[in-house]
Homo-oligomer: A and B are copies of this chain.
Amino acid sequence: MSERSQETDAFADVCNQLRNHAYKLTPQRQTILKIFLEQGSGHLSAEEIYQLVKPHYPDIGLATIYRTLDILADLGILQKNDFGDGRSRYEFSRRDEHHHHHLICLRCGSVSEFDDDLLESLETMIAKRNKFKVVDHVLKFYGYCSKCQEELKRDV
């Protein structure tokens, strides 16, 4: 199966999810979705999505972007992240994907991803010890990416 048809499948899949929840399938929502599918693994802010959508749909309003992102995040189609730069950042979260987390570079601000499996045992333990029912977790590592480590070595 080609990459293209995988994308198409994901698109159809999300459209169905919207319909199942009685949300209407407006061209604005479709355009926003396509942006995420094209971007692959970006961490986009509302403003960035707005700029990317505008060429395809010039009349769209920023409020629609926010409202759509809210819905898609509620449905679990997008993951809403906070990387500490004062705005929320969204990424497409494929259903079959492992839960992944982020490595955030304190120097250049780049965000990369890593998978976790090891966290699950910790999660179980926490739940028992604190009588807390865990439904989600967020793990972020702050530090320096390899590129910045090189540059710091060179400059200082």
A residues adjacent to B (C-beta < 8 A): 82, 84, 103, 105-106, 112, 114, 116, 118-119, 122-123, 126-127, 129-146, 149
Contacts and interface: CB of A to CB of B under 8 A. Distances in A.
A127 B137 CA distance: 20
B138 A143 contact: no
A122 B112 contact: no
A44 to B, nearest CB: 18
Contacts of A136: 141-143
A106 to B, nearest CB: 7
B123 A132 contact: no
Given A146-B131, A149-B133, A141 B123 contact: yes
B126 A132 contact: no
Nearest to A145: B132
A138 B137 contact: no
Contacts of A84: 82
A130 B106 CA distance: 15
B139 A139 contact: yes
Given A114-B126, A119-B122, A132-B146, 15 more contacts: A103-B132, A105-B132, A114-B129, A126-B141, A130-B146, A131-B146, A131-B149, A132-B144, A134-B141, A134-B143, A136-B142, A137-B142, A138-B142, A139-B139, A139-B140
